[in-house]
Amino acid sequence: MRTLILAAVAALSLAGAAQAQMGPPDPAAAFKRFDANSDGAITKDEWTAAGRPADRFDMVDADHDGKVTQAELTAAIQKMMQHQ
């Protein structure tokens, strides 16, 4: 049991260190990954297909036109990083 606990603590420590080294998310890379049809906008269907929560789409879609642009995603990520 003690070995299992020590292994879990070590795994969590390594995961935290890896996260710290990764740095902030890259908005351009995220946008490219989410924009499945490469039309320059992310729809709610593309957003949720990428595994993102549907309610977050509405927060990122600043002008509420049903699409997330590169600028909107970048602004949302920057805002998120300021609050950490």
Domains and CATH numbers, the chain: 24-82 (1.10.238.10)
Give the DSSP letter of residue 42. B
Q: Give Cβ neighbours of residue 36 (< 8 Å, ≥ 6 apart).
A: 46, 49, 50
**Range 3-16 average pLDDT:** 42
On the 0-12 / 13-18 / 19+ scale of CB atoms within 10 A, 73 is: buried
Between CA 5 and CA 58 the distance in angstroms is 41
pLDDT at 12 over 50: no
Q: Which residue has the tokens 């946008």?
A: 31
The model's pTM is 0.69
Condensed to tens digits (0 to 9), the pLDDT of residues 13-61 reads 444 444 445 677 899 999 999 999 999 999 999 999 999 999 999 999 9
